Each structure stands twice: as structure tokens, then as C-alpha cells.
Amino acid sequence: MKAYLAVVCLGVFTVMALSNAIVPVLPAFATGPAWEGAVYAAYFLGAFLSTLPGGILSDRYGRTLVIRIALALTVASGALLFCTTGPLTVIVLRLAEGIGAGLFIAAGMSYVNSQPDHTRMSGYYLAMLNVGLVVGLAASGWLAVRFAQPALGIGVFTAISCAALAASLIFHEMPGPALKTGTDLREAAGLIVNHARLWYSAIVLVGITGVVSSLYPGFSDKPADVLGFWIAAMSVTTIIAVLVFSRFPVPALGAIRWSAIFMIGGVLLAYISPFGFVVLGALAGIVMVAQMEVLSGERDRQGLVMGLFSTSSYLGMTILPFVAGLISAGAGYPEAFLVTAVLAGTVALSICGLHRHCLQHAP
């Protein structure tokens, strides 16, 4: 089991690092902000579209197969990106890269959350995910400047992805309980309804980190390197939070509710000081571990459940920054931050109601 956990952690590191490797060098792959935005967004569109199917396929055909397919797609798209500069081709390859990432995230989370020690393992998994984001961003920018080769970071992380793919072919997931062989729409709809407030918390609380990251370049007068530092600091504090929180048994619903309350303050703090990035990053780490803890109860449908969880998170990262951008353009930045803080408050109220419901129906 430890060997396969290492494969999964290496895989999520490389997938995330490769996804961010293009960000510091976007102008080399796209001409103008419109094309840059399209290249950046194509990845998230692919991930959003593939996470739920990835979870369903994990339940039906096994997580190992889906992880191998995801890593193969990651390697292929990364290798082609290393050799390509045309914006339309890059957009298609970023879409494919996002599809591979969505498949991997769903299957990887399904494996981690199905294990007996799932809380601690989810801490390792989420930590490696965020380490990949930070390293991909920092290393690819440094390599591009040091060697005057914009695509070098993409090439390096593609090579590491090859190692992850090879490891997935060597090591196999240990046999567990038999997986169901079918998934119907009624079962998916039932899970959506049963955990509706949890999905809402994922959309809003994960999406808030995207809101602050997307608003700050236009809102702040800070140079790009300083902004990059604070955005990276948010991921670093997430890493610390998931590793620490996953080792202490804390009521999951209470952790989500109080994190949402503190996120109100974190968003308002971000309007005054970039230190809000640190606060929001730590709270996001606590929230994700707690959400996975709640969903671990769906033992025989972890693929589908984690697919829905990942889809909710990507949906939040897509919708909330877009809405906040519209608000800031029409009313101003203070209003955008205020609306975002109010949304965090609605999650606190929603989870509070869910907590009372669980207590009333407890055996």
C-alpha cells in the first residue's frame, strides 16, 4: 500500500507541476491577453469535464487503469506542448492536459479516501498536490529565465511525469472490496442531493482562493514577482495546514463551519493586506481535509463521490472568479470582496444546518 501511495503522490505532484509550468511563460505561447486567458482556462475546462467521468470509470474499471490513462495523457500532452507554440494547438493540448488531470485527481482521491487511514493519507495527497503547484510555478519561471528557453520547465516536468507513468505500470493497487460495475443517473443524483450542502461548501470555499488570486493583479499595485510570492505563499500554507490537520481528529463539519466563518475575515483581510493569502490558504487546507473526511463514509462509491467533489471544486474555481470579476468591473473591488465574504458566510449557515440535521439523525 505504501508503494502505491508513493505512486499516487508522485503522480499528483507531476500532474499539478506540469499544469502550472506554462503560467510564468504564457506570453511565449499566446499573443495578447485574450489568447493567454484562453490557454489558461482550457486546462480548467478539461479538468472540470473529466473529473466526474474519471470517478465513475474508477468505480467501474478500477483506479489503477484510470491513473495510468491519466498519466499517459499527461505525458503525451506535455511532450507536444514542449514542441508547440501556435496558440490554437496549445489550447487543444491544454484541454487534453486538463482532461488527464481531472481523471487523475478523481482516481487518486478515490484511492486515498477508500483507505482505513484515509485522513492522514489525504493530508499527504493534498500536500503533494499543492507542492506540485508551487514547484511548477517557481521552477518553470526560473528555468525560463536562467536558460532563455520558455518551454524548458514543461519539458522537465513532462520527463518526471514519465517516471510517474512507469511507476504506475510497475506497482499495482492492492485488491480491496469488489467494485460495483454499474452507475446510473439516479445514484449520482442521490449523492448530489444527499451532500448538496457539502458540494456548495466546496464550490464557494475553494472558489474563494481563485477569487482572491484573480482579483489581486488588477486590484493591487504590487509588481508581478511580489504577487507571485503571495500566491505561492497561499499554497505553502495549504500544504502546512493539510499535513497538520490530517493528524488530529477534529469534527469535520465543525471544522468546515468555523473555517467558513474565519474565511469571512480572511477575505476582508485580503482587501487590506496580502497577508490574507496566508490565512485563506491555511483555511482552504483545513476545509479540503474535512470535506474528504465527511465523504469517506461513502465507502463503495469513492470514485463517483470524489469525482463530484473535484467537479465542485473546479466549478468554484471557474465560476466565482468570473462573477467577482464582473462585480469588480461594474461596482468596484470593495464590492467584489464584500460579496465574496458574504458567500463564505452562507456556507457557515448551511453547514450549521447540516450539523444539526446529522445530530438529529444520529443513532
CATH code at 325?
1.20.1250.20
Residues 172 and 278 in one domain: no
Half-sphere exposure of 171 (CA within 13 A, CB side): 18
CA–CA–CA angle 17, 19, 23 (5° rounding): 100
Residues 291 and 363 in one domain: yes
Q: In the prediction, which pLDDT does 362 show?
A: 36
Residue 341 pLDDT level (bands cut at 50, 70, 90)? very high
Query: Average pLDDT, stretch 311-325?
Result: 83
Residues 191 and 45 in one domain: no
The residue from 162, 182, 202 where one domain ends is 182
Residues 293 and 308 in one domain: yes
Packed helices 302-330 and 87-113: angle between N→C axes, nearest 10 degrees: 130
- How many domains is the chain partitioned into structurally? 2
Q: Is the pLDDT of residue 178 over 70?
A: no
The residue from 165, 182, 199 where one domain ends is 182
Domain of 271?
184-363
Which of 187, 210, 232 lies closest to 314, judged by CA? 210
Q: Which three cell numbers stand for residue 127?
A: 500536500
Residues 147 and 196 in one domain: no
Q: Is the pLDDT of residue 227 over 80?
A: no
Residues 103 and 204 in one domain: no
Residues 334 and 297 in one domain: yes
Higher pLDDT, 66 or 30: 66
Q: In the prediction, which pLDDT does 325 show?
A: 81
CB-based burial, 57-92: b 16+ in 10 Å, e otherwise: bbbbebbbebbbbbbbbbbbbbbbbbebeebeebbb
Q: Is the pLDDT of residue 300 over 80?
A: no
Residues 261 and 322 in one domain: yes
Q: Which three cell numbers stand for residue 327?
A: 462585480
Residues 176 and 200 in one domain: no
